[in-house]
């Protein structure tokens, strides 16, 4: 078995999603992977030969290699609190099949994307590190036999989306700011015209909520409305003539 240990990608961002009937569900974060613990293990496929009389081989063929990926989490947070296990288990076994993404800290560097894997977890304890959880993802064969088991590619972060508010021509004041990073499918509550120190205003017009398009032809939202976010969103202020 060959091993690539402690991939030096800085602070690795990891995500997992349940896979049901070949469809990936919502991506969730694998929080605070212990730096230096992400490891890829490769088991070379069995070799098959067809010897010929007098020595040598008529052909040599290998089965596909198999892979597993390992990483660790700590139970304790830096501020002294405790975290829950990212993926729950019963005596080390998790239920179902998962897709996984591991994204390097440096932008533009190839990460790891696994479409199908089963997960197991080992609990450990030491006086230095406290409780740690070591996850192992045994990579399943892809549904398309022509696909690789592990994809090495530049990956988009599936779990950090932003909502930007645009004043859309307001003559004074500023659009509100939402500095939160949202996870995939996380609920967003739309803000009002509440920027400080000065809310937006437009001469001769009244604020009339937000729209996903500047010209008002997209989806309209009022303050307090909610939606599920799946991509970065810009909301444009809408203005109507004052009666």
For 167-194, the DSSP string reads -TT-SBS------PPBPTT-EEEPP-S-
Task: Determine if the pTM surpasses 0.95.
Answer: no
Residue 57: its pLDDT value, please? 65
pLDDT at 67 over 70: yes
Q: Nearest 5 degrees, angle CA 65-CA 66-CA 69?
A: 135
Per the model's pLDDT, the better-predicted residue between 141 and 225 turns out to be 225
pLDDT tens by residue, 93-106: 999 999 999 998 88
The domain locations on the chain are: 2-153, 163-241
Q: Are 158 and 101 in contact (CB under 8 A)?
A: yes
Rg (CA), the chain: 25
As a whole number, mean pLDDT of residues 60-70 equals 81
What is the rounded average pLDDT of the residues 47-53?
Answer: 70
CA torsion sign for 94, 95, 97, 99 is negative
Q: Among 105-114, 135-144, 177-186, whose mean pLDDT is lowest? A: 177-186
Helices marked H in the chain: none
- Between 140 and 179, residue with greater pLDDT: 140
The whole-chain average pLDDT of the chain stands at 85
Mean pLDDT of all residues in 66-70: 92
pLDDT at position 240 = 95
Q: Max alpha carbon distance in the chain (Å)?
A: 100
CA 18 to chain centre: 12
SS3 of residue 65 by DSSP: coil
pLDDT score of 6: 47
CA 113 to chain centre: 10
């Amino acid at each position: 078995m060959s091993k690539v240990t402690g991939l030096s990608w800085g602070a690795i961002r990891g995500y997992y999603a349940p896979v049901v009937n070949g469809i990936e569900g919502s991506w969730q974060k694998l929080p605070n992977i212990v730096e230096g613990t992400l490891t890829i293990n490769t088991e070379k496929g069995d070799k098959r030969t067809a010897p010929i009389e007098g020595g040598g081989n008529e052909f040599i063929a290998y089965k596909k290699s198999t892979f597993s990926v390992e990483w660790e989490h700590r139970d304790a947070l830096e501020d002294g609190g405790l975290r829950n296990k990212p993926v729950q288990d019963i005596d080390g076994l998790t239920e179902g099949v998962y897709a996984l993404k591991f994204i390097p800290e440096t932008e533009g560097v190839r990460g790891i994307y696994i479409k199908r894997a089963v997960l197991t977890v080992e609990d450990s304890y030491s006086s230095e590190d406290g409780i740690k959880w070591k996850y192992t993802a045994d990579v399943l064969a892809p549904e398309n036999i022509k696909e690789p088991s592990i994809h090495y590619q530049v990956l988009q972060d599936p779990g950090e989306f932003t909502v930007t508010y645009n004043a859309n021509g307001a003559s004074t004041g500023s659009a509100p700011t939402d500095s939160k990073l949202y996870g995939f499918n996380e609920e967003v509550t739309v803000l009002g015209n509440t920027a400080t120190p000065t809310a937006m205003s437009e001469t001769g017009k009244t604020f009339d909520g937000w729209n996903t398009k500047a010209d008002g032809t997209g989806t309209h939202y009022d303050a307090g409305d909610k939606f599920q976010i799946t991509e970065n969103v810009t909301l444009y202020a809408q203005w109507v003539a004052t009666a």
